[in-house]
Amino acid sequence: MSFQERFSINIFCLIKDIQIKFHLYEESLNSSKHLEILRTVLSEFLENPYMLFLTGWSTGSLRWVPWDWSARSPDLTPPDFFFWGKLKENVHNTPVNNIGKLRRRIIHCIGELDVDEIQRATNHSVSVRILKCLESKGRHVENVL
């Protein structure tokens, strides 16, 4: 008899210039866990005033970004338009049958991301996307890029 065990890993990801910082969590993410992440994991990144992108928990009452930022702006956020797609493409190219293998594959795939691609996503692509967003008066721009 064949069956598939259901498991998942949550990823907290920050991208700055060519650096990707991430933490993997196997437990469920709720408001208490989000607050813990903001208080502990995020503190090392807050030391740098030039950190640009946070994905996952930058919306709602836990918003920490010191400037107004669209509650949902996937067209302008490298983790949304670059990182998640690349990660899914590489992690899920073959089935994984346990959480340990999934964790190792995620870590390996993040380590294998091309530095030039990361730099294009965080520098050039963001600039182009911001200009397109302004031209479209704030509408989604993924379909016109």
Residue 3 domain flag: no
Residue 75 domain flag: yes
The closest alpha carbon to 73, from 89, 59, 88, 85, belongs to 59
The closest alpha carbon to 60, from 34, 81, 39, 78, belongs to 34
Residue 1 domain flag: no
Q: Is residue 104 predicted with pLDDT exceeding 90?
A: yes
Using one digit for the tens of pLDDT, what is the confidence trace for 63-80? 344 444 455 566 677 777
Number of domains in the chain: 1
DSSP-derived secondary structure for 32-51:
HHHHHHHHTTTHHHHT-TT-
Residue 88 domain flag: yes
Using one digit for the tens of pLDDT, what is the confidence trace for 10-29? 888 877 777 777 888 888 87
Q: Is residue 134 predicted with pLDDT exceeding 60?
A: yes
Residue 85 domain flag: yes
- Average pLDDT of the residues of the chain: 73
The parent domain of residue 103 ranges over 10-144
Residues contacting 121, CB < 8 A, separation 6+: 15, 78, 81, 82, 83
CA–CA dist 76, 53 (Å, integer): 9
Confidence of residue 1 (pLDDT cuts 50, 70, 90): very low
Starting at the earlier edge strand, list the strands of the sheet with 53-54. Answer: 19-25, 10-16, 53-54
Residue 5 domain flag: no
